[in-house]
Structure 1
Amino acid sequence: MSMGDTESCSSRVQNSGSNICPKQRLKLQVYNEVLSRLRELNVAEAALPGFEHQLWTHFYRLPTRYALDMNVERAQDVIMHKNLLHMAHDPSTRPALQVRLVQVRSASGVNCNAPHSNSQRKLTSLMSETGLNIQEAHAFSTLDGYSLDVFVVGGWPIEETEKLKYVLTKKIQKLEKQPLFKEIIGSQTAGQEQPRINLISDNVNLPICGNATWEIDARYLKFGKKIASRSFFDLYKGAFCNQNVAIKVLKTENMNENIQREFAQEVYILSKVCHKNVVKFIGSCTKPPNLCIVTEYMGGGSMYEFIQKAVLTLSSLLKVAIDVCEGMQYLHQNDIIHRDLKAANLLMDDKGVVKVADFGVARMEDESGIMTAETGTYRWMAPEVIEHKPYDHKADVFSFGIALWELLAGKQLPYENLTPLQAAVGVVHKGLRPKIPTHTHPKLVQLLNRCWHQDPSLRPEFSEILEFLHHFINTNVGDEGERMQEKGHSPTCASAFEQSCHT
């Protein structure tokens, strides 16, 4: 994933300080210490692309107690644990087991690590039967139903460590064939050995980004008030790990194969993206009947809601536009087309930062760079998309132009006197565009006309738009004092936005 000059996943975690609960903050501290130690040791795996992201995912899925028990001087143990848990997901690499020699209180011991599904008592019995003396035992359950068990044992010749691994592997394989053990394992892993979403057909598979798993146990989600309802999903404010989240729950009564496919695609894309101007993905529940997507809760609401209650000054509008452009530039750099960009899908957090959200119809741009499917919302849709012609990421630039018009026009809807279909016909065949407010700065009029140009090749890239906006704000906008003129808007939200505009 190309990050360019944007922040990485790890830096975003590091900078989230006050927004995370104490337990997560402790995990974060240990994560940073382990990452630094691995780099000091020049561990090869720590230099691979995406490693920081995978390492944080490893800490995130395990309890806080795991971080507390971690000896940073033995940071390489974390890599071993991470890789063992990854192996445990694949039936072909189970049992996932590692045995090595350690020194404990001036006596030789053997460290055995074995992730599995909630069967420590069976493993303890197995080791006793092997003649091992268990000196220490630690069990850490993951969010997706596995357990990382760490034993320190004695009673085995230190020169035969590899033989012990062979013996334990054979005994565990034999143990797994016992009916009770198979029942335990089967109940925990059945959903992971099959496609994640399997309601309609068995060919809808949820891609996984790298080695990371984003599965959340629905039992740990706390649902609050419903904040939106659409044809195919309900949106709730909720909590997960003591942090506020938004929970998008698919409606089972309208479930079909296309909806499943879009759900899987949305989870996949969200799991790949990591930017300060893209809504943060927390995880997902992909095991029927609990199909939901969990993201950070954006307390400021959508920009569509915001402009119904407040009038943006030029400075505030440009701040929003820059936030959106930075998020979209990042998505396009990573070959992602949003395909439904509009004010309703631009969300603001409590600090006034605006982020691109709702990836329900987003897609990865293929190698040819062109697509043909009609998707999005008619009033914001580019003419080539409406006509089912091949299109690329420049369709998002057109939609951005309409979204920017929304911010300028306030409460108005694009082509509000026309039906969506009439508007689409006008856009394609008559070059129809929304009427630009008379008070709009001439330079912004020029930008709008470029963004919604009929010819996609003549529309600017988001990098060009960003350059234009930064130059514009530096040469045309002074210190205006008040950043917005309120019309009965929430003081908390307005204050947060004002603070962001001054930073």
Structure 2
Amino acid sequence: MAAESCGSRGASPPPPPSSAGGGGGGAAGRRRKAEAYAEVLRRIRSGGYGGGRPGLEDELWAHFQGLPARYALDVNVERVEDVLLHNKLLEQAREPMNGLVFDVRPSQVVTPEDSTGFESSTSFKQEEQDPQSSAFTSRDQRPLYEIIFACDDKPKLLSQLTLLLGELGLNIQEAHAYSTSDGYSLDIFVVNGWEYEVDILRSALRKGIDKIKYRAWPLVQSMAARMDHRPMEVSPSSDFVQIPADAADVWEVDPRLLKFERKLASGSFGDLYHGTYCSQDVAIKVLKPERVSVDMLREFAQEVYIMKKVRHKNVVQFIGACTRPPISCIVTEFMHGGSIFDFLYNRRGKFQLPDVIRIASDISKGMNYLHQINIVHRDLKTANLLMDDQVVKVADFGVARVKDQSGVMTAETGTYRWMAPEVIEHLPYDHSADVFSFGIVLWELLTGKLPYEDMTPLQAAVAVVQKDLRPTIAADTHPVLADLIQRCWQKDPALRPTFAEIVDILNSIKEVVRSSGHHKRHPGRSDSGRRRGC
């Protein structure tokens, strides 16, 4: 299915219908998208669908803009749950390890006997019909089901889906196929001919989809087999990590062009090397083959997926990745200054106040960019902040995630000394957890000390949650920075600033500090701003 250009995801809320905003389908199409968006949003706000959730407006607008104008004409705006389900499935399909996702539910759609199916002008609106109408009485009255598929748009996939439905004995009464502007498809079928429970239909569909996944998404299915302790089918096309393709970005690295020079670090699951790629200095993060697991492969694929999306002067630059045997690795630019952690604790370095503000500004700019594109880092710490030529960049996206539709996550991810209390407690969290970690990093930059250095990581985590413990802010800390640190590590995530606000705060004091001749400390800070010590 050819993708239709319908504007970009993440666009701002729509202009008035008469203006030239949006994309795809001409002025009438843009107007219809804006009208459908406005009506669905109005119903969400008035109908208890979570209308107060942060980011809902942008998310909904991006959903309509990413689909062709025909979608806005077809969808029944009175059934808000339809739109939310379609958006949810597309977001799930964008996760690299999901591949093809689907949903099935009973439908009340009634289509005339002569409906032709694909690209039908009849919408899939689920409306109550008059039992006496000729359309209702003249057709097969067996139960109708709506089956929705969302996936990375692949050649011949639509034909495979229709073939699957036919193999299950389903008769397609109506079908709609939409391609998004970022290369995904949303395919909606209304079928009959199924005489059993919907759960049995769902199970039958899942088995059929598994077979499709073996061909189109080999890593997804092979990992599922391993997690279920089933024999894994191996073929020439399924023995490497599958990352969603991007026609505009050639990132697969030929391992023969990599030269390994020296090992920089070694961990339980991988090693980090300094090397070259096509004569360029690079860092090479290599998975240890003997330690590869399902979770490692998932994180590896997620990291490549995220890194190939990001471009910012304060985010380490992705060069490429090797996803085919005999090596699995991620190649990034090499930062000659090393990590801030190494500088502070191994080289015993110290930062003067102007440098602290410059470094904190670089970090906050990189993080603000990541949050703007819905990426939550989840492990922000000095070891993942790299220095080079008077610039600091955010690195290591091994546990980063694209924020899901609900905007929250619950897994305990990160490093205890920098971890937000809600993450430690396995409570729902979002991008504000990164802000908490930044507060700890800023304190480190000022003090040159390891957070909670007299405690084990686990002891520190317990104290943060149970005693609301934070590192001690020295009395002579610059008052603006002391206030910023305290705001960043507030227990209530809603009270923490955004990185956009942090950038502005740091910019406001940068010139003042530079012109005043301040060094590391600002004298005269009262004890009133101090928190309990470790």
Give yes or no for TM over 0.5: yes
Which residue number corresponds to residue 331 of structure 1?
370
- The alpha-carbon deviation at position 304 of structure 1 amounts to 1.2
SS in 2 for 1:470: helix
CA distance in 2 between partners of 1:209 and 1:391 (Å): 30
1:213 to 212, 225, 250: 250
Q: Which amino acid aligns with 1:405?
A: W
2:426 to 388, 391, 401: 388
- The alpha-carbon deviation at position 422 of structure 1 amounts to 1.1
Which residue number corresponds to residue 179 of structure 1?
none
Contact 1:3 1:330 in 2 (8 A): no
- The alpha-carbon deviation at position 418 of structure 1 amounts to 1.1
Does 2:249 correspond to 1:226? no
CA distance in 1 between partners of 2:277 and 2:496 (Å): 41
Deviation per CA, 1:422-447, whole angstroms, max 9, x where unpaired? 11111111110011234311211111
Q: Which amino acid aligns with 1:325?
A: S
Which residue number corresponds to residue 385 of structure 2?
346
Change (3 A) 1:315 1:274: same
Deviation per CA, 1:107-158, whole angstroms, max 9, x where unpaired? xxxxxxxxxxxxxxxxxxxxxxxxxxxxxxxxxxxxxxxxxxxxxxxxxxxx
Contact 1:397 1:462 in 2 (8 A): yes
State percent identity of aligned pairs. 56
Deviation per CA, 1:330-370, whole angstroms, max 9, x where unpaired? 00000000000011100012x12100000010000012111
- The alpha-carbon deviation at position 396 of structure 1 amounts to 0.2
CA distance in 1 between partners of 2:451 and 2:390 (Å): 25
1:269 to 289, 306, 313: 306
SS in 2 for 1:272: coil
Change (3 A) 1:477 1:454: same
1:431 to 448, 468, 479: 468
Does 2:264 correspond to 1:241? no
Which residue number corresponds to residue 291 of structure 2?
254
Change (3 A) 1:199 1:438: farther
Contact 1:200 1:257 in 2 (8 A): yes
Which residue number corresponds to residue 415 of structure 2?
377
CA distance in 2 between partners of 1:226 and 1:242 (Å): 18
CA distance in 2 between partners of 1:251 and 1:426 (Å): 35
Taking only aligned residues, the RMSD between alpha carbons, in angstroms, comes to 2.9
Q: TM-score under structure 1 normalisation?
A: 0.56
- The alpha-carbon deviation at position 202 of structure 1 amounts to 6.1
Which residue number corresponds to residue 460 of structure 1?
497
Contact 1:247 1:293 in 2 (8 A): yes
Mapping 1:478-489, distance limit 5 Å = 478=515, 480=517
CA distance in 1 between partners of 2:308 and 2:410 (Å): 25
Which residue number corresponds to residue 317 of structure 1?
356
CA distance in 2 between partners of 1:478 and 1:206 (Å): 49
- The alpha-carbon deviation at position 282 of structure 1 amounts to 0.2
Unaligned 5+ segments in structure 2 are 1-8, 13-65, 67-152, 158-213, 227-240, 522-534
Deviation per CA, 1:193-230, whole angstroms, max 9, x where unpaired? 66368875569742334653311111111111001111
CA distance in 1 between partners of 2:266 and 2:476 (Å): 36
CA distance in 2 between partners of 1:3 and 1:227 (Å): 41
Contact 1:300 1:352 in 2 (8 A): no
CA distance in 2 between partners of 1:236 and 1:198 (Å): 31
Deviation per CA, 1:18-53, whole angstroms, max 9, x where unpaired? xxxxxxxxxxxxxxxxxxxxxxxxxxxxxxx9xxxx
1:195 to 218, 225, 248: 218
Change (3 A) 1:318 1:360: same
CA distance in 1 between partners of 2:218 and 2:471 (Å): 45
Which residue number corresponds to residue 446 of structure 2?
408
Does 2:321 correspond to 1:284? yes
SS in 1 for 2:515: coil
- The alpha-carbon deviation at position 289 of structure 1 amounts to 3.0
Q: TM-score under structure 2 normalisation?
A: 0.53
Mapping 1:162-173, distance limit 5 Å = none
CA distance in 2 between partners of 1:234 and 1:305 (Å): 17
Q: Which amino acid aligns with 2:218?
A: P
Contact 2:354 2:519 in 1 (8 A): no
Question: Which deviates more, 431-440 or 337-346?
Answer: 431-440
Which residue number corresponds to residue 398 of structure 1?
436
Change (3 A) 1:284 1:275: same
Which residue number corresponds to residue 22 of structure 1?
none
Contact 1:196 1:287 in 2 (8 A): no
SS in 2 for 1:287: coil
- The alpha-carbon deviation at position 287 of structure 1 amounts to 1.2
- The alpha-carbon deviation at position 476 of structure 1 amounts to 3.5
CA distance in 1 between partners of 2:380 and 2:417 (Å): 11
- The alpha-carbon deviation at position 480 of structure 1 amounts to 4.1
Does 2:512 correspond to 1:475? yes
Mapping 1:132-147, distance limit 5 Å = none
Does 2:320 correspond to 1:297? no
Deviation per CA, 1:256-277, whole angstroms, max 9, x where unpaired? 1001100000000000000000
CA distance in 2 between partners of 1:256 and 1:453 (Å): 37
Question: Which deviates more, 417-426 or 241-250?
Answer: 417-426
CA distance in 1 between partners of 2:334 and 2:225 (Å): 33
Unaligned 5+ segments in structure 1 are 5-48, 50-88, 94-190, 485-503
Deviation per CA, 1:149-181, whole angstroms, max 9, x where unpaired? xxxxxxxxxxxxxxxxxxxxxxxxxxxxxxxxx
SS in 2 for 1:301: coil
- The alpha-carbon deviation at position 307 of structure 1 amounts to 2.2
SS in 2 for 1:284: strand
CA distance in 2 between partners of 1:197 and 1:239 (Å): 31
Change (3 A) 1:378 1:481: closer
